Amino acid sequence: MILAVVYAFTKDGTPMGRHPIFGAVFHWFGAMCTVLLWLTALSNPGIVVRGGPGTVDPEAVDADDIYCDICDIWVGPRTHHCRDCGVCIEKHDHHCVWMGKCIGKGNMKAFVWFNTSWVCAFIYMFACLALLPGPHKKVH
């Protein structure tokens, strides 16, 4: 999808297609969006497994710790169980339906950079389309 948008706005006949520098910058934004999308989608969001990082020793439970009935483990604060994924996620933010996975401690930085890159790409695209001259029409 990202690459299709980049192609559509940089092919010949479009304002950005007539100016190679503008098209090259937009291609760079498209590549960044794609790479950051894959980094976010393929990284571990911070899944908490029994005995692994993020779990709390049952004998050292603190007042802030939470017990997950579904996973049957004690977890630290800001760790929540995701109903869609069926696991506890450390510093769980939300379950992203677009990526099909949770956003948590492990992939939050890549997710923020991904969102920043596509917003910047669209701002750049609309600025170029507003500032660059459109196709010249012949007057009879």
Task: Return the structure tokens found at 90.
Answer: 């450390």
Burial (CB count <10 Å: 0-12, 13-18, 19+), residue 124: middle
Q: Is 96 a catalytic residue?
A: yes
Please provide residue 16's backbone torsions phi and psi, each rounded to the nearest 5 degrees. Answer: -75, -25
Say which of 71, 96, 120, 128 is annotated catalytic: 96
Buried b vs exposed e over 47-61: b needs ≥16 C-beta within 10 Å?
Answer: bbeeeeebbbeeeee
Catalytic sites, residue numbers: 96
